[in-house]
Amino acid sequence: MITDRPRAALLAASLLLTGCGGGAVATPAHEHGAATATTSTATPRTTGTPTPEITLQAAPRHLPGLGPQTWAEVPSETRQAVVVTGRGRNSPQSTVVLYERTDAGWEAGDSRPAHNALRGWTDHHRAGDLRSPIGVFTLTDAGGLLRDPGTRLPYDHGVGFTATGTGFEGEPLAGSFDYVIAINYNRKPGTSPLDWTRPLGAGRGGGIWLHVDHDGPTQGCVSIAREHMRELLSALDPDRHPVVVMGDAKSLAR
């Protein structure tokens, strides 16, 4: 919990000035799944017209939409993955799906509309480039201006998450940081999202979060509707080693 409120507020202001921004070193996986499988069954025929064959879709053994390069970055111990798929390399629009790994494979939650950075995506994020980082990043810490909605992630609650001003389309930013999940790009895991440690240096940006959508592009973060942020916070479990897999669809398919 942040106790130095003036310092926290200053850090939050810095986030708005420099943008939620970043690129990362991913943990290689040691386990690869097979392609999506199907199982066909047919009801036994006794007489009359044959019963049509029924095809049951099995859960995929690896995350849909990911190519071998991206899939190799997903840690083998990961059992939860938030997949953010951008509409295009230069688009600020994307979708978010939470996948849960079971014995049968990866099961998908509902697809949610989202925003990413104004100028889209990049493999090498720099501070102020107005692009979201492409990659696989762990999720270990959360926080917000509002009280903990019931997440199992460590949660920092305080006024340091106050958002002010307007976005790129003139929309108010107030409430954007009511709930946030820190994306471990160029930050120290296990600390408040407001922590300003930048292992890759300040020039590589930072402060990349999942946060409440303000109906417009972000400076580098990914934003989804308030109710969906609450759902995500409630679902994420540190014991399942959650990650976010993010980028435009073409980049994720590499």
Q: What is the mean pLDDT of residues 27-50?
A: 37
For residue range 206-215, list pLDDT tens digits in order. Answer: 999 999 999 9
Is residue 250 within 8 Å of residue 120, measured between CB atoms? no
Distances (CA, A) of 61 to 13, 105, 191: 42, 5, 33
Given a cut of 50, whether residue 44 has pLDDT beyond it is no
pTM of the entire structure? 0.80
Local confidence band at 61 (pLDDT 50, 70, 90 cut-offs)? confident
Give the range among 36-45, 128-137, 173-182 with minimum mean pLDDT. 36-45
Q: Where are the domains of the chain?
A: 5-33+42-252
d(CA 75, CA 213): 28
For residue range 66-81, list pLDDT tens digits in order. Answer: 999 999 999 999 999 9
Given a cut of 70, whether residue 43 has pLDDT beyond it is no
